[in-house]
Chains A and B, each alone.
Chain A
């Protein structure tokens, strides 16, 4: 197949259009995952976050100065609508509480873990694996810092797909900046495509 034919592949486009992806968190990981998946042609995103855009978020998150003060899920839905056609975004303003984190994601094909604290990450992973058997979850750990792109690797354990840098410091002790957070977010988004479409031949 030539490159042009692949790019215009109607089968891939149709499958992505029919897919739905849940994103837990609309911060540095979630906002970048959402933009990448919307641009790739995913038809339906369910994005859950309770937070408001702050100016300090703009060093890594897909928002703009004039959106400071808005709910992240609403600002993100707006930004996606400005970027591409045909991506339906369900913007859910909700803090995911322990014990009921999976509710919004029952109907999606893949869940993306894009939360901030390690506690919340572990909680969501546990609950998706226990409550939604067979549903893939794509998580990220170790996004703080800069450089060391070669340390980022990917491991799979059953339905858990984890993009990680095991040597990274916690975000309490190191900076969060667009390049490394974006690297993880795009790695996660690329993994979502592979889960939806199968491994590229």
Chain B
């Protein structure tokens, strides 16, 4: 079975923040590839959310 996509994972984990930086095993995944990027088994996924203000 193929891994779930980044978009599906974020939805399943209930990440409600509109803007996140996602890394899979240390490699950044651009936001416009979340829908097509499938997450393989046994990898580390990091999600960092960003909030406006500066």
A-side interface residues toward B, CB under 8 Å? 25, 27-30, 114-119, 121-122, 125-126, 129-130, 139-144, 155, 157-158, 160, 162, 164-166, 168-172, 174, 176, 181
Contacts A141-B53, A143-B53 aside, 20 further interface pairs with beta carbons under 8 A come to A29-B54, A30-B54, A118-B51, A118-B52, A121-B50, A122-B20, A125-B21, A125-B28, A126-B31, A129-B28, A140-B54, A141-B49, A141-B51, A157-B26, A157-B48, A158-B26, A160-B48, A169-B51, A170-B51, A172-B52
Q: Do A144 and B48 touch across chains, with their CB atoms under 8 A apart?
A: no
B-side interface residues toward A, CB under 8 Å? 17-21, 23, 26, 28, 30-31, 46, 48-54
Q: Using A126-B30, A130-B30, A158-B26 as known contacts, say yes or no to A27 and B54 having CB atoms under 8 A apart.
A: yes
Count of CB-CB pairs between chains A and B under 8 Å:
83
Q: Using A125-B21, A126-B21, A158-B23 as known contacts, say yes or no to A171 and B49 having CB atoms under 8 A apart.
A: no
Chain A neighbourhood of B50, CB < 8 A? 118, 121-122, 125, 139, 141
